[in-house]
Amino acid sequence: MSLSRQQINDIEDVLKSALRHKFQNYKPEPASMPFHTRLLGKDRLALYSFIHSLNTNFGTSIFEPVGLALSQKNFKMATAQAIAGNQISSAAQKEIQKIIDGLVTAATTPNKKEEVEKIRKVCQTGEMISVKPTRVDLMFESKEGAYYLFDIKTAKPNAGGFKEFKRTLLEWVAIILAKKPNTEVNTFIAIPYNPYEPEPYTRWTMRGMLDLENELKVADEFWDFLGGKDIYKDLLDCFERVGIELRDEIDEYFAKYNKNQ
């Protein structure tokens, strides 16, 4: 399967718009770095600063809108920065804590299907508590009514945060089930690319907390899920074409930093 012409146009429009918006609104941090500047030049320092700034919000400015453009025709509902809901049962909260405690102490191993069913049994038991859950980076409802919620992380997430990643995934499950106790809910951590290519992604650091088969999608696993099998290369080609098309604009933008050097 390959991307349709409409998908390609939509994705490339998203990328052009995001870069041009960044150029128009980006203001480098005021910092004097005289040794770096004389060694490398103002334009290269400006490029480094720009890339660092872009990386901090690549998820919201690039990956989320690209994910929506990829997925529109494959799901009944697709949205970014969604709120899963605002209520969770007290019994579900306790069940989530039990699951987390078992994983932290290695008394249990991650099994997402079993964890979802444990939460389902108590999803409307006890007091319904108002909560403000972590926003869902990308949220989908399939044509069959199943829900898929993604938390997009950097390519090398901090290992110390895996416990909270897991809690977020389980809380989303409980919040959806509080409203729709019989629905299918799937929650994932998404890693948009593999920084270790051509070697496999190093997943072992997540193994004790995440069910790697059912809670983690990396690189082509993630993008192919959204857009269809074997579209990852097509997606990278979109990025390359936009980079080539905008190269003169990019060079012109950074050249101005050397005018007064």
- Domain definitions of the chain by residue range: 1-56+231-261, 74-230
- Name the residue among 105, 122, 206 with its Cα closest to residue 164: 206
pLDDT tens string 7-54: 999 999 999 998 888 888 877 665 677 777 777 777 777 777 777 777
The tens place of each residue's pLDDT in the chain, 261 residues long, gives 688 899 999 999 999 998 888 888 877 665 677 777 777 777 777 777 777 777 777 888 899 999 999 998 889 999 999 999 999 999 999 999 999 999 999 999 999 999 999 999 999 999 999 999 999 999 999 999 999 999 999 877 776 788 899 999 999 999 999 999 999 999 999 999 998 888 888 776 777 899 999 999 999 999 999 998 889 999 999 999 999 999 998 888 877 766 654
Q: Tell me how far apart the alpha carbons of residues 101 and 143 are, in angstroms, rounded to a whole number.
A: 35
Local structure of residue 73 (DSSP, 8 states): G
- Phi, psi of 3, deg, nearest 5: -70, 140
- Name the residue among 175, 191, 183 with its Cα closest to residue 225: 191
CB atoms within 10 A of CB 247: 10
Q: Which residues contact 50 (CB under 8 A, 6 or more apart)?
A: 22, 26, 28, 254
What is the architecture of the domain spanning 74-230?
3-Layer(aba) Sandwich (3.40)
- Quote the pTM value: 0.89
Scanning the structure block, which residue is given the tokens 């399939």?
A: 142
What is the C-alpha end-to-end distance of the chain, expressed in Å? 50
In 26-111, alpha helices (H): 34-40, 42-56, 58, 64-71, 90-104
